[in-house]
């Protein structure tokens, strides 16, 4: 069986990536006759000169053909006498860097193209750093378009020196630099007649022969649990892929994060019972005792992993939305998805020079070194030790976008190294943590109009939807916070002011507040609106005085009519009807739930 090499091509736009691969496939006679015919036809219509445009073999999307650029990564599969290859051809445009990173995460080797007439560009350096971040350790630098320099060895030597200097910054296991012309075919599949001064192998020969060491079989066993298989009461197996090492029946295993131990009773590779399994195989493990193991746990044997909720890592920001410190994202590592926040950015990396820059956010295409806090203790490892549980993605919990990808450098212990970023915990952040927007919904209306009934029903509805709420009821507040206030005009104003201030504090905590309180005077309600600000929503519960008197649940109207209660709103004290309420609710013709429906709908809660 031939070995497989997965590689990517990257580099700046117009460096000739698609042309290089297209030409390689064409020369090595690896394209079908119908594809060749289509290419010859497309070239006549699409290309500039009438020569074969090899890039048309790869640029598959309509938008790309129209714009003549590659916007997304394209995978090609080919096999030569010596090896099978999967190549991810990636976009050069800075805007599509994240698509280039997708290709890099999949590859073992990177081909970086450099335009000989332009030299090493910023984009070349960015791609190199991203390849290194994503774990690529084998690099081939293709100095392309040598034909445009008259195949000048001096040009090549100068660029070669720049590359060697650049490569000192990153971890490499192999490095090859080769001068080619992708359009003319020099040093692609055959040694170039035009550059006899170069004595290395042509590109394809090099790719056929380069050895990529696979050390996944070494060291102890690691398997993140994907799912629990229980077809019946008697069978309970833990399914996952062996990522590292090997395992045999009878071996002792440990499940993390719990740290509980057990022995392996049975092993299945797919549907075959077996005595042992090795890295790369899909496995089902049955153990000799009852243990609480579920998706996201990691089963190991004789291998050290971290179980922690804090780590330092390096990541590439992918999202158009910049990183928000403290915001709750989902982090996926191995098979575990857990809420997580970036609590500190140590620095970002200047892609051009590699120097460290202080910053308080990361925007698209930036690389940063960060500290990440997880909502619970999670199993992971340094990327360089166990790659499969050392890489992670961050998912935006609102847009579901994959916002960032990164690698774990090492765990952090609390109190050691951990410094919280100078970060304002703002109302916005608290709201985001609670997953809601704070509001004060202020119900005003006559006594007995149904304010408290509506406020309570609304709160129940919101709580059922997972919202965080609080009710301030005018009557109840008077027993505590406002127990020194009576019903004079000035005391009524002070009552409202205090309720408004309390609402604002709760809103600042991210809470949705329902206030039910008569608040008869326009000036007081306006003052409340001023205190509470944009979150204030006024609902006038418009039940008529006649209906309220008819209901008179607490017998208050009766007493007021007998002059037993002085200053009673609607009877012996004025109620000023709001003229600019956000919503007027009529409770006389509908039931409570219909009213709540309308409030939810109209106020967008």
Partner 1 sequence: MAELSHLDKLEAEAIYIMREVAAECEKVVMLYSIGKDSSVMLHLAKKAFYPENPPFPLMHIDTTWKFREMIEFRDRMAKESGMELIVYTNDEGVKKGINPFDHGSIYTDVMKTQALKQALDKYGFTAAFGGGRRDEEKSRAKERIFSFRNANHAWEPKKQRPEMWKLYNSQIIKGESIRVFPLSNWTERDIWQYIERENIPIVPLYYAKERPVVERDGNIIMVDDDRMKLLPGEEVQMKKIRFRTLGCYPLTGGVESSADNLHDIIGETLSAVSSERTSRVIDHEESASMERRKREGYF
In the complex, least distance from residue 216 CB atom to partner 1, rounded to whole angstroms: 10
Write the binding mask 257 to 276 for partner 1: x where contact by CB under 8 A, - elsewhere.
-----------x-xx-----
281 binds partner 1 (CB under 8 A): yes
Kindly write out the interface string for residues 110-139 of this chain, putting x where it contacts partner 1 by CB under 8 A and - elsewhere: ------------------------x-----
Q: Which is nearer to partner 1, 191 or 322 (CB)?
A: 322
Site string for partner 1, 431-450 (x = CB under 8 A): --------------------
Task: Give the footprint of partner 1 on residues 311-370 (CB under 8 A).
Answer: 318, 330, 332-333, 335, 337
3-state SS assignment for residue 175: strand
In the complex, least distance from residue 138 CB atom to partner 1, rounded to whole angstroms: 17
Distance CA 198, CA 227 (A): 54
**Ranges of H-type helices in 406-488:** 427-434, 451-464, 474-477
Shortest Å distance, C-beta 391 to partner 1: 5
Nearest to 392 by CA among 384, 401, 380: 380
Q: What's the Cα-to-Cα distance from 93 to each of 64, 72, 126, 220, 506, rounded to whole Å? A: 12, 10, 11, 42, 47
Q: Are 127 and 94 in contact (CB under 8 A)?
A: no
Which of positions 509-528 make contact with partner 1 (CB under 8 A)? Answer: none
Task: Detail the DSSP E strand segments found in 445-518.
Answer: 469-473, 512-516
Q: How far is the CB of 284 from partner 1 (least distance, A)?
A: 7
Query: With helix as H, strand as E and coil as C, how does 273-326 read?
Result: EECEEECCCEEEEEECCCCCCCCCCEEEECCCCEEEEEEEEEEEECCCCCCCCC
What does the chain come to in residues? 605
The answer to whether 280 contacts partner 1 (rule: CB under 8 A) is yes
Orientation angle between helical segments 97-106 and 122-133, nearest 10 degrees: 40
Q: Of 54-62, 174-182, 431-439, 550-558, which part binds partner 1 (CB under 8 A)? A: 54-62
Q: Which of residues 211-240 bind partner 1 (CB under 8 A)?
A: 214, 217, 226-227, 229-231, 235, 237, 239-240
Q: Which range touches partner 1 (CB under 8 A), out of 61-69, 425-433, 501-509, 583-591?
A: 61-69
What binding mask, one character per residue, do residues 152-171 give for partner 1 by CB under 8 A, x or -?
--------------------
Minimum CB distance to partner 1, residue 279 (Å): 8
DSSP 438: -
Stretch that binds partner 1, among 141-149, 180-188, 279-287, 514-522 (CB under 8 A): 279-287
CB atoms within 10 A of CB 295: 16
Q: H or E segment at 140?
A: strand 138-144
| Helix, strand, coil percent values for the chain (each to nearest 5) | 30, 30, 40
Judged by CB under 8 A, the chain residues 368 through 397 that form the site for partner 1 are: 388, 391-393, 395
Q: Would you say 592 and 454 are in contact if contact means Cβ atoms under 8 Å apart? A: yes
| Token pair listed for 103 | 């290709």
Contact 90, 10 (CB under 8 A): yes
Task: Using the minimum distance from each CB to partner 1, give the nearer residue, 405 or 412.
Answer: 405
Provide the CA 114 distance to its chain's centre, in angstroms: 32
Peptide bond connecting 257 to the previous residue in cis, omega within 30 degrees of 0:
yes
Query: Interface with partner 1 by CB under 8 A: which range of 2-10, 110-118, 149-157, 358-366?
Result: 2-10
User: What token pair was written down for 357?
Assistant: 């820059």
Nearest-approach distance from CB 322 to partner 1, in angstroms: 16
Among 400, 483, 484, 589, indicate the residue that binds partner 1 (CB under 8 A): 400
Nearer to partner 1, 231 or 604 (CB): 231
| One residue of 48, 49, 62, 289 binding partner 1 per CB under 8 A | 62
The single residue among 12, 18, 55, 99 that binds partner 1, judged by CB under 8 A, is 99
Within positions 177 to 216, which residues make up the interface with partner 1, using CB under 8 A? 214
Q: How many helices (H) and strands (E) does the chain have?
A: 15, 28
Check binding of 249 to partner 1 (CB under 8 A).
no
Q: Which of 33, 358, 419, 464 binds partner 1 (CB under 8 A)?
A: 33
Question: Which x/- pattern, by CB under 8 A, does the window 525-554 give for partner 1?
Answer: ------------------------------
Q: Given the complex with partner 1, which of 4 and 505 has the nearer CB atom?
A: 4
Q: First and final CA of the chain: distance in angstroms?
A: 61
Is 2 one of the binding residues for partner 1 (CB under 8 A)?
yes
How far apart are the C-alpha atoms of 66 and 62, rounded to whole Å?
6
Closer residue to partner 1 (CB): 225 or 571: 225
Q: Is 277 in the site for partner 1 (CB under 8 A)?
A: no
Residue 156 in contact with residue 146, Cβ under 8 Å? yes
Residues 66-95 that bind partner 1 (CB under 8 A): 71-77, 79, 84, 86
Minimum CB separation from partner 1 for residue 603, in Å?
21
Determine the size of the site formed for partner 1 (CB under 8 A).
71
Identify the burial level of 239 via C-beta atoms within 10 angstroms of its C-beta, where 0-12 means exposed, 13-18 middle and 19 or more buried. middle
d(CA 506, CA 439): 9
Please state the closest distance from residue 153 (CB atom) to partner 1, in A: 37
For the CB of residue 222, give the shortest distance to partner 1 in the complex, in Å: 14
Residues sharing a CB contact under 8 Å with residue 209, sequence separation 6 or more, in sequence order: 82, 201
């Amino acid at each position: 069986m031939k070995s497989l090499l997965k590689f990517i091509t990257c580099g700046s736009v117009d460096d000739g990536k698609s042309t290089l691969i297209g030409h390689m496939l064409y020369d090595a006679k690896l394209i079908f006759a119908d594809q060749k015919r289509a290419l010859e036809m497309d070239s006549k219509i699409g290309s500039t000169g009438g020569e074969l445009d090899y890039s048309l073999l790869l640029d598959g999307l309509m938008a790309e053909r129209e714009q003549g650029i590659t916007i997304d990564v394209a995978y090609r599969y080919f096999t030569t006498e010596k090896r099978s290859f999967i190549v991810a051809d990636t976009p050069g445009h800075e805007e599509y860097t994240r698509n280039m990173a997708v290709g890099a995460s999949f590859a073992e080797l990177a081909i970086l193209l450099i335009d000989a007439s332009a030299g090493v560009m910023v984009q070349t350096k960015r791609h190199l750093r991203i390849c290194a971040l994503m774990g690529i350790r084998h690099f081939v630098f293709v100095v392309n378009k040598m034909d445009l320099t008259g195949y000048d060895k001096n040009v090549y030597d100068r660029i070669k020196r720049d590359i060697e200097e650049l490569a000192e910054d990153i971890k490499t296991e192999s490095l090859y630099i080769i001068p080619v012309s992708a359009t003319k075919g020099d040093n692609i599949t055959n040694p170039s007649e035009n550059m006899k001064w170069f004595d290395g192998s042509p590109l394809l020969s090099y790719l056929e022969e380069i050895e990529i060491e696979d050390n996944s079989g070494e060291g102890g066993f690691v398997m993140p649990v994907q799912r629990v298989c229980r077809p019946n009461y008697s069978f309970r197996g833990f399914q996952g892929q062996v990522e590292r090492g090997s395992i045999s029946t009878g071996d002792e295993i440990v499940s993390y994060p719990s740290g509980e131990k057990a022995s392996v009773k049975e092993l299945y590779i797919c549907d075959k019972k077996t005595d042992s399994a090795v890295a790369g195989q899909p496995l089902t493990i049955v153990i000799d005792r009852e243990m609480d193991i579920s998706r996201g746990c990691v089963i190991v044997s004789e291998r050290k992993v971290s179980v922690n909720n804090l780590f330092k890592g390096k990541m590439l920001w992918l999202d158009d939305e910049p990183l928000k410190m403290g915001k709750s994202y989902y982090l996926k590592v191995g098979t575990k998805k857990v809420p997580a926040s970036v609590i500190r950015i140590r620095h970002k990396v200047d892609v051009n020079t590699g120097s460290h820059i202080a910053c308080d956010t990361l925007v698209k295409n930036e690389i940063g070194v960060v500290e990440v806090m997880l909502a619970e203790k999670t199993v992971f490892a340094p990327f360089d030790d166990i790659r499969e549980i050392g890489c992670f993605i961050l998912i935006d919990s609102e847009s579901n976008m994959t916002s960032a990808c990164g690698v774990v450098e090492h765990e952090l212990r609390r109190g050691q190294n951990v410094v919280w970023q100078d970060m304002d915990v703002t109302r916005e952040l608290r709201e985001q943590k609670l997953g809601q927007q704070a509001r004060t919904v202020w119900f005003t209306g006559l006594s007995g109009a149904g304010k408290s009934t509506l406020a309570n029903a609304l709160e129940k509805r919101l709580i059922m939807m997972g919202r965080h709420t609080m009710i301030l009821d005018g009557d109840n507040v008077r027993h505590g916070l406002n127990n020194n206030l009576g019903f004079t005009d000035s005391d009524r104003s002070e009552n409202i002011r205090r309720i408004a201030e309390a609402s604002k504090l709760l809103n600042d905590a991210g809470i949705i507040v329902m206030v039910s309180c008569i608040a008869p005077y326009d000036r007081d309600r306006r003052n409340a609106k001023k205190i509470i600000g944009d979150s204030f929503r006024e609902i006038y519960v418009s039940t008529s005085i006649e209906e309220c008197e008819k209901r008179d649940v607490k017998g208050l109207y009766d007493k007021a009519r007998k002059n037993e209660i002085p200053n009673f709103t609607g009877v012996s004290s004025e109620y000023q009807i709001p003229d600019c309420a956000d919503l007027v609710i009529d409770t006389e013709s509908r039931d409570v739930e219909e009213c709540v429906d309308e409030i939810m709908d109209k106020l967008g809660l």
